[in-house]
Amino acid sequence: MNKTDMKDAILEAKDAKGLKWSDIAKAAGLSPEYTCSACLGMNHLDKKPADAVAKALGLGKDVSAALQRFPKKTWTQTIPTDPLIYRWYEIVGVYGETIKEIINEKFGDGIMSAIDFSMDIQKQADPKGDRVVVTLNGKFLPYKAW
């Protein structure tokens, strides 16, 4: 089973069982954000959490095996058309240079890791409309002179 078929099977089973990502993550023993990313094919799971996810979804060893394979991280569109995903591109387009300037000013010349990284997504109630709170936490990796 390839990652695309795995993703489709997982989403179908998740929907059919009425599960949330937090339910599946609890079975895996991982965060909802990372578990979701692995189930969508952009990260991998070790055997134990992969087996737990497949079991929670009522799926077979082929799904567990696909979850354990290392992903090939590619995007098929230059700019996605899904409005929520597009807004992230807009945020980076408008604020990307600002983010880079502030990080470089505070840390020096380098980058924020997307490998040694965590993410947390929360809902904050607000009478004017609920707020989305996204925390991105990545290790700073300085560039080296050589």
Residues marked active site are found at: 87, 90, 113
Tell me the pLDDT band of 146, cut-offs 50, 70 and 90.
Answer: confident
Report pLDDT for 75.
Answer: 74
- What pTM was estimated for this model as a whole? 0.84
Alpha helices in the chain (DSSP H): 3-17, 21-28, 32-39, 47-57, 61-68, 83-107
Q: What is the mean pLDDT of residues 98-122?
A: 95
CATH number of this structure's domain 83-142: 3.30.1160.10
d(C-alpha 43, C-alpha 49), whole Å: 13
| CATH classification (class only), 3-68 | mainly alpha
How far does Cα 93 stand from its chain's mean position? 20
Q: Which residues pair with 122 in a beta bridge?
A: 133
What are the residue ranges spanned by the domains of the chain?
Answer: 3-68, 83-142
